[in-house]
Amino acid sequence: MKDLLSVALILGATLSLVFGVADASAQRTSHLPQNQGWNKLPGNVSNRYSQMPIRLPLSLSGGYAEIRPNHFHSGLDIRTGGKEGQPVYAPADGYVSRINISAWGGGKVLYITHADGYRTVYMHLSSFCGEIGDFVHKYQYSHRTFAFDTELPHDSIRVKKGDLVALTGNTGGSMGPHLHYEIRLAENDQTINPLYFGLPYSDPIAPTIAGVKLYPGSPHSTIAGRRNELKVYPTSQTGKSKKNKMRSSVDDTISVAGRFYTGIYTYDRMEQGSNSKNGVERIELFVDDTLFSTFNIATFLFEESRAVNAQIDYREYERSREYYILSRRLRGDPTNFNNVSRDGGYLHFDDGRVHSIRYRVSDYKGNSTSRTVYVRGERTQKRDGLQDDVDNIEVQGEPIAYYKPFFLVGKGFVLNVEANNIYENDHVVYRTAADAGGITQQHNVSLRRNPLPPHDHIDVALAIPDGVSEVLRPKLVVVCVNGKKVTACPSKNEEGRVVARSRSWGAFALRADTIAPVVQPLDFVDGKALRGTTMSVRVSDNLSGIEQYSCTANGEWQVVEHDGKTSSLTLDCRLLRGGKNTVVFTVTDAVGNVTTKEFTVYK
């Protein structure tokens, strides 16, 4: 086994070359303007792009900058009446600048760049229309691929305002038919809230405040005499439930000792009876009737999106999907969405007096809701430290600063964390354990105090143990184990080691994938007549994941639709001839295991 200490010194550069990714902090700052309020954006956005991209009243199943797993929602999810195939129209003159087709994410995505510096984006489409559809067909067959991502020349496909460009669908990660619609700055793809461009809609309902929390802000802080967070419930509709009583009077005052911070779970519904919990425009926190902080996202860069994890109660969101937006601001948070007036969003009262903490939440139509909590400041038994004191408390693990790179070298293991990849100074805890069925032991790395996912990714390298055969070595992948969940990381097999990157902390180990993918018929029977207009197979892999796939019908290569949600490949039966047809599906996983399945069907 090679000495990995020398590997640590070159791992960052090696992984950058292997994966083609630059330094995370450089990506986040170079050539990107600072996020600004919508009223400071170039031009008068209030009356631009006010034409709806579909001819239906605006009804949202998802709003701009809503909290989603590991990201902010970058556009509007517009309902399409529960149906696919609604016409999509260009809201302004422009040209098709990019087309992206994938089994995941946005599915079939269209980008139109406009002359005034804006770009509109349309996701989860079922198909493209006219000249755009012709381009997609030719590209897929000339490159023999269903999925692709390509930019188009400026004058290749021009569109006029009102032109039919696509049909709505349910492709990619969509969980139901709808249109995801975005407006961006063309120069850097900075996304902007489309509601600021004058889209017509109605919203007579004020936001809902579903919960407020108080959190201890240091090891010596207490909330209501305990060192745990305290959830404060809003008043129930009946007013009879003591459990749901809001602490909204001096009689319900909560004692607080030491530094603390607050969190709010809030959402907006635009229509009566809607189950959608859309985001709100603005959250304001007043302390003793003085504005203390404001949370508002009018525009953001995609490089900033994962910072959502630094701005919410991440543990609560993982547990219940309730997103409490926090008043405190971590020092490594690259955004300015949470504008705090002082002390990083922490509060501290030790005067024995009662203080009011009031949240006011507003939607995009100006409807607002307020809730107040009263606290009484008390002295702690021990001196309440400032942030530096908290950082100096002795804890287990190796210290890591959010603004510095970090290396950790274990036996047969190297961890590399780029600078500006965590949100607060912390300690990295490293342990090893046996890995049942694995090639190596598990190398478990975690953050001690703030166990948030990294902002970009972390890089790891695991040595291939002596004795692993030359046949097995190309089949090795790095896996990340979190409880019962095992995820294969994008891996590269180099001489004597496997390098990989992960977007989460966890237990890393080497495992071998020697099992080929599985291909199973879904809507047809081999050797029988077709019963519908499509021919679909389910594809799955035990570990490394599907990397490539192809289909031939009677010896001719054909496009098959790949749907990540259903893990299926679908062939349009119109591509088959009458009578007997021989259809072959070939599927390859990430380490080169191949499955070829031949079917005979009759049309």
Give the count of beta carbons closer than 10 Å to the beta carbon of residue 459. 24
Q: How far apart are CA 546 and CA 314, in angstroms?
A: 31
Kindly list the domain boundaries of the chain, sorted by start residue. 5-22+394-512, 33-197, 208-387, 518-602
Q: Beta partners for 226?
A: 223
CATH number for the domain whose boundaries are 5-22+394-512: 2.60.220.30
Burial zone of 450 (CB within 10 Å; 0-12 exposed, 13-18 middle, 19+ buried)? middle
Q: How far apart are CA 553 and CA 590, in angstroms?
A: 25
The total number of residues written for the chain in this structure: 603
pLDDT, averaged per 10 consecutive residues of the chain (603 residues), comes to 44 42 32 36 58 91 93 95 96 96 97 93 98 97 97 93 97 94 94 90 91 93 93 54 51 89 94 82 96 94 96 94 95 93 92 94 93 90 47 68 96 96 96 86 94 95 93 94 88 93 95 96 95 95 95 96 96 94 97 97 94
Give the count of beta carbons closer than 10 Å to the beta carbon of residue 37. 12
CATH architecture for residues 33-197: Distorted Sandwich (2.70)
CB burial readout 75-106, b (16+ within 10 A) else e: bbbbbbeeebebebbbbbebbbbbbbbbbeeb
Separation in Å, CA 301 to CA 98, 210, 292, 462 = 18, 28, 25, 33
Tokens matching residue 266? 């809030």
- Global pTM value: 0.87
- CATH assignment of 208-387, among 2.70.50, 2.30.30, 3.30.70, 2.50.20: 2.70.50
Q: How far apart are CA 516 and CA 434, in angstroms?
A: 26
Q: Residue 391: what pLDDT?
A: 44
SS3 15: helix
Q: How far apart are CA 535 and CA 531, in angstroms?
A: 9
Query: For residue 74, what is the DSSP state?
Result: -
CATH number for the domain whose boundaries are 518-602: 2.60.40.1220
Radius of gyration of the chain (CA): 27
- Angle, alpha carbons 290-295-299 (nearest 5°): 140
